[in-house]
């Protein structure tokens, strides 16, 4: 009986593993193919069937990118936007979420919370023109400021942290902290922050990736090629009627490296955040 | 001024004037000692074309620093950025307009009127191809930009494929052979091989050429949709005939597989502006030097074989803080012999400036076309073009027409049904 059970369990495990392997192949294949194309020539990419193994044109493709812009400059630009924005957004969201979660009886609590919620219902492109004029008035066009400062106030971030803190931190903890003489900010930094680390990591990853991929806002704000972030720089490799596909693929890979490193750094916390959210 | 200075200055002026530009030009050429920094907005690959031109420009104007910025033309990113820049007063000094953006951009008050002093563009605007002058001149006479380059259209054909099919390969003979659109279909039947090789990549090429030959645009000058004009019906009938005979490839125009088909010898002829040759040479069919030739497109009823495809324009914004330098750059770019030569020879940009058409650098035997001087085709085409009417809804009309063409090619709609549908689609947006 016991052996049969173990056998069935093992069979189930094998099946699950197999399904997961297939699923990861499904997601990794495009990435692999990107890497293959990045090492090929333009005419090889157009062949049918397309090449499945690496070629020898990677140096030339790199030079083709370097001919248009320094290949790593957009990566630095993207980092200069994404890192301060991520840190700031997470901090602001956590503080606001903490305020909403802890001081539920404060005057205006409900109104402010509803307002934060309401911002989620407006597509960001709706305010694009007024935003542009505002930034123009501030003299911030063609700088990174418009991509960082106004975006720190994120309705999604606040609601996420409010929900996360509300379900993770029992009220008794605040009371205990108060008994020990900790005021609001001290409680936040010394008690709340360490506990909500997984939630912070999840929000960081989400912010980082969406900032990294953002195209429209930087396109509107940045008027100078030397400040282009990764997605914008990629478009410089394409002409109206044709793209240097291998160069685009290689530049895409270069632009992915920092995201991979940062994700690996945060992923342990991120996974904990996904699974441990509501239990405590 | 001493007499030798006078003499050498005169010799210099005569020599340079003769070499670079006609005498009318030299008179109001800006001072070469102007200084300052100007920003220029364009799109790839034009940004690289400009960057390559700057050393030559700086030989003539050593104190002007030009900052070139390209924004992608795709998904209207360039157009939107320029419109926003105009709105917020944060635009560049100099901006380009592609012919398809003209209707949306040229009426904007932010363009400097180049007819006024110190530009006085009116004095030499007649040196540009007439249809381009029509495009930059507003009803009140304001000149919003100078024409930079055009896209005189021709029929690019594969000599080796024609030879294999037992057809003549000499451009003159091919022009004679493809005398009208029915002849085009008859020849196509000899060239096409099912699922392997096609006479034409996309039916759209036929429709666009026939419209231009008849001088019909999507809209007339009053903004009335022209899809009821018989030329659309006739063109779609030709497309249908060609499709039924298996002459039209299944590839979507500009898709990667479409681009690849040229290098693989799957497309026997293609009808676009002269710039298409640049794409063949540098991107789609780099290994096929000597295999291509250029003939005139088949003639429509009435005899015209001319059409234009593409082209662009360059103007100065009122917000520019250094209009003198901006003007020096703009004028040099579109009239200077060295500038036009370099643009033509390295990027196949055909000058809108007509005096350039007789230069040696444009009339040469190009090895890519097996030694043919393709300007013998393009120069007369440019001269005989009928100006088209531009409209703000052109992109919607073109899209609807493309759907109609696709539906006719796939056989899912009759010509009348497809046109009615296209008409309804555009009307809904008017």
- Per-residue pLDDT tens digits for B49-94: 999 999 999 999 999 999 999 888 877 889 988 998 898 888 999 9
Q: What share of chain B is helix, strand, coil (3-state, %, to 5)?
A: 50, 15, 35
> Is B88 an interface residue toward A (CB < 8 Å)?
yes
> How many C-beta atoms surround the C-beta of residue B137 within 10 A?
18
Q: Is the pLDDT of residue B5 over 70?
A: no
CA–CA separation, A99 and A118 (whole Å): 18
Mean pLDDT, chain B, whole residue set = 90
CA atoms within a 13 Å half-sphere pointing along the CA-CB vector of B72: 20
Q: Are residues B95 and B203 in the same domain?
A: no
The predicted model gives B161-189 an average pLDDT of: 96
The answer to whether ipTM exceeds 0.95 is no
CA–CA separation, A213 and B317 (whole Å): 32
> Is B81 an interface residue toward A (CB < 8 Å)?
yes
Within a domain: B8: no
Q: Is the pLDDT of residue A277 over 50?
A: no
Q: Are residues B327 and B352 in the same domain?
A: yes
Within a domain: B26: yes
The predicted model gives B340-359 an average pLDDT of: 94
Q: Are residues B126 and B255 in the same domain?
A: no
> How many C-beta atoms surround the C-beta of residue B19 within 10 A?
10
Domain CATH code at residue B412: 3.40.190.10
Residue A261: per-residue pLDDT:
87
Q: Using pLDDT thresholds of 50, 70 and 90, give the confidence band for residue B348.
A: very high
Q: Using pLDDT thresholds of 50, 70 and 90, give the confidence band for residue B19.
A: very low
The predicted model gives B267-295 an average pLDDT of: 93
Q: Are residues B100 and B235 in the same domain?
A: no
DSSP H or E run through B424: helix B415-427
Of A219, A235, A242, the CB nearest to B279: A242
Nearest C-alpha of chain B: how many angstroms from A237?
8
Q: Are residues B137 and B54 in the same domain?
A: yes
B284 to chain A: nearest residue by CA? A43
CA–CA separation, B151 and B147 (whole Å): 12
CA–CA separation, A74 and A88 (whole Å): 21
Q: Which residues contact A183 (CB under 8 A, 6 or more apart)?
A: none
Q: Are residues B274 and B419 in the same domain?
A: yes
Q: Do the Cβ atoms of B225 and B219 come closer than 8 Å?
A: yes
Sort out which chain A residues have CB atoms less than 8 A from B283's CB and list them: 42, 241-242
Of A235, A241, A245, the CB nearest to B72: A235
* Top-ranked range on mean pLDDT: pick from A121-130, A169-178, B24-33, B411-420: B411-420
Question: Between these two residues, B395 and B31, which has the higher pLDDT value?
Answer: B395
Residue B1: per-residue pLDDT:
41
Sign of CA dihedral B352, B355, B360, B364: positive
Rounded to two decimals, the pTM is 0.82
Q: Using pLDDT thresholds of 50, 70 and 90, give the confidence band for residue B4.
A: very low
The residues spanned by each domain of chain A are: 2-62, 73-275
* Planar angle of CA A84, A90, A93, nearest 5 degrees: 130
Q: Do the Cβ atoms of B385 and B212 come closer than 8 Å?
A: yes
What residues make up the domain containing B248? Answer: 152-307+384-427
pLDDT 10s digits, A102-140: 998 889 999 999 999 998 888 877 888 888 889 989 999
CA–CA separation, B376 and A261 (whole Å): 58
Q: Are residues B285 and B392 in the same domain?
A: yes
* 3-class state of residue B42 by DSSP: strand
pLDDT 10s digits, A205-259: 899 999 999 998 898 888 788 899 999 998 888 877 777 888 999 999 999 988 8
Q: Do the Cβ atoms of B182 and B188 come closer than 8 Å?
A: no
Cα-to-chain-centroid distance, residue B335: 17
CA atoms within a 13 Å half-sphere pointing along the CA-CB vector of B411: 8
Q: Is B73's CB within 8 Å of A240's CB?
A: yes
Q: Is A235's CB within 8 Å of B44's CB?
A: yes
> Is B263 an interface residue toward A (CB < 8 Å)?
yes
> B353: which strand partners?
B128
Of B67, B88, B286, the CB nearest to A132: B88
Within a domain: B276: yes
The predicted model gives B351-363 an average pLDDT of: 94
Instruction: Report the domain count for chain B.
Output: 2
Substitution target from A40, A43, A218 for chain B, most B beta carbons within 10 A: A43
Q: Is the pLDDT of residue B26 over 60?
A: no
Q: Are residues B135 and B207 in the same domain?
A: no
Substitution target from A235, A244, A247 for chain B, most B beta carbons within 10 A: A235
Q: Are residues B124 and B256 in the same domain?
A: no
CA–CA separation, B246 and B185 (whole Å): 10
Q: Are residues B291 and B416 in the same domain?
A: yes
Q: Are residues B168 and B110 in the same domain?
A: no
Tokens representing residue B79 in the block? 């157009």
Mean pLDDT, chain A, whole residue set = 87
> Is B260 an interface residue toward A (CB < 8 Å)?
yes
CA–CA separation, B401 and B290 (whole Å): 35
Q: Using pLDDT thresholds of 50, 70 and 90, give the confidence band for residue A272.
A: low
Rg (CA), chain A: 24
Residue B274: per-residue pLDDT:
95
Sort out which chain A residues have CB atoms less than 8 A from B45's CB and list them: 239-240
Closest alpha carbon to B403 in B214, B266, B207? B207
Sort out which chain B residues have CB atoms less than 8 A from A142's CB and list them: 90
Torsions phi, psi for A196 (to 5 deg): -90, 15
> How many C-beta atoms surround the C-beta of residue B423 within 10 A?
19
Q: Is B44's CB within 8 Å of A239's CB?
A: yes
CA–CA separation, A29 and A12 (whole Å): 26
Question: Would residue B195 be called left, alpha or beta, if left means φ above 0 and alpha means ψ between -120 and 50 degrees?
Answer: left
Q: Is the pLDDT of residue B202 over 90?
A: yes
CA–CA separation, B216 and B230 (whole Å): 10
Of A42, A219, A240, the CB nearest to B43: A240
Q: Fold for A73-275, please state it.
A: MetI-like fold (1.10.3720)
Within a domain: B360: yes
Within a domain: B7: no
CA–CA separation, B420 and B232 (whole Å): 11
Q: Are residues B401 and B423 in the same domain?
A: yes
**What is the rounded end-to-end Cα distance, in angstroms, of chain B?**
65
Residue A262: per-residue pLDDT:
84
Within a domain: B3: no
Sort out which chain A residues have CB atoms less than 8 A from B286's CB and list them: 43
């Amino acid at each position: 009986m016991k052996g049969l059970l173990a056998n069935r369990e093992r069979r189930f495990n094998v099946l699950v593993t197999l399904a997961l392997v297939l699923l990861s192949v499904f997601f990794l294949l495009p990435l692999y193919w990107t890497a293959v194309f990045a090492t090929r020539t333009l005419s090889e990419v157009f062949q049918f069937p397309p090449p499945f193994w690496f070629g020898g044109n990677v140096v030339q493709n790199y030079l083709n990118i370097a001919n248009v812009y320094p290949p790593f400059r957009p990566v630095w630009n993207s980092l200069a936007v994404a890192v301060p924005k991520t840190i700031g957004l997470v901090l602001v969201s956590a503080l606001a979420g903490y305020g909403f979660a802890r001081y539920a009886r404060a005057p205006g609590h409900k109104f402010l919370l509803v307002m934060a919620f309401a911002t989620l219902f407006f597509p960001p492109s709706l305010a694009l023109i007024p935003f542009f004029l505002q930034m123009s008035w501030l003299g911030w066009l063609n700088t990174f400021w418009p991509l960082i400062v106004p975006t720190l106030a994120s309705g999604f971030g606040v609601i996420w942290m409010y929900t996360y803190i509300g379900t993770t931190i029992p009220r008794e903890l605040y009371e205990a902290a108060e008994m020990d003489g900790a005021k609001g900010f001290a409680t936040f930094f010394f008690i709340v922050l360490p506990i909500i680390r997984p939630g912070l990591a999840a929000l960081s990853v989400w912010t980082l990736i969406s900032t990294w991929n953002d195209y429209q806002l930087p396109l509107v704000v940045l008027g100078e090629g030397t400040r282009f972030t990764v997605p914008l720089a990629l478009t410089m490799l394409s002409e109206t009627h044709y793209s240097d596909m291998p160069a685009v693929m290689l530049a895409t890979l270069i632009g992915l490296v920092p995201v991979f490193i940062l994700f690996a750094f945060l992923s342990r916390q991120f996974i904990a955040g996904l699974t441990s959210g509501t239990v405590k | 001024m001493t007499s030798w200075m006078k003499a050498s200055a005169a010799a210099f002026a005569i020599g340079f004037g003769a070499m670079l530009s006609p005498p009318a030009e030299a008179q109001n050429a800006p001072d070469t000692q102007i200084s300052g920094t100007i920003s220029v907005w364009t799109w790839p690959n034009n940004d690289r074309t400009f960057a390559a031109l700057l050393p030559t420009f700086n030989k003539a104007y050593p104190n002007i620093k030009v900052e070139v910025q390209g924004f992608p033309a795709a998904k209207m990113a360039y157009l939107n950025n320029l419109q926003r820049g105009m709105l917020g007063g944060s635009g560049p000094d100099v901006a380009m307009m592609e012919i398809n953006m003209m209707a949306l951009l040229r009426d904007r008050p932010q363009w400097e009127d180049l007819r006024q002093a110190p530009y006085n563009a009116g004095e030499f605007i007649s040196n540009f191809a007439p249809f381009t002058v029509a495009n930059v001149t507003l009803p009140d006479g304001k000149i919003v930009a100078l024409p930079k380059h055009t896209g005189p259209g021709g029929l690019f054909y594969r000599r080796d494929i024609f030879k294999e099919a037992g057809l003549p390969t000499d451009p003159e003979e091919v022009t004679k052979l493809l005398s009208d659109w029915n002849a085009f279909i008859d020849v196509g039947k000899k060239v096409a091989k099912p699922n392997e090789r096609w006479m034409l990549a996309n039916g759209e090429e036929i429709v666009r050429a026939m419209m231009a030959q008849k001088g019909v645009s999507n809209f007339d000058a009053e903004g009335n949709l022209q899809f009821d004009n018989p030329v659309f019906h006739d063109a779609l009938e030709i497309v249908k005939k060609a499709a039924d005979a298996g002459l039209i490839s299944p590839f979507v125009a500009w898709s990667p597989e479409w681009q690849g088909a040229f290098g693989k010898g799957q497309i026997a002829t293609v009808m676009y502006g002269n710039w298409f040759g640049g794409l063949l040479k540098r991107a789609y069919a780099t290994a096929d030097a000597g295999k291509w030739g250029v003939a005139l497109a088949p003639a429509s009823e009435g005899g015209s074989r001319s059409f234009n495809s593409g082209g662009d324009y360059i103007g100065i914004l009122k917000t520019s803080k250094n209009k003198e330098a901006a003007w020096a750059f703009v004028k040099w770019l579109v009239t200077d012999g060295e500038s036009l030569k370099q643009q033509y020879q390295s990027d196949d940009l055909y000058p809108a400036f007509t005096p350039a058409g007789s230069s040696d650098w444009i009339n040469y035997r190009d090895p890519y076309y097996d030694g043919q001087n393709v300007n013998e085709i393009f120069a007369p085409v440019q001269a005989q073009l009928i100006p088209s009417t531009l409209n703000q809804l052109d992109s919607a009309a073109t899209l609807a027409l493309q759907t109609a063409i696709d539906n006719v090619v796939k056989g899912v709609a009759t010509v009348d049904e497809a046109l009615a549908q296209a008409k309804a689609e555009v009307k809904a947006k008017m």
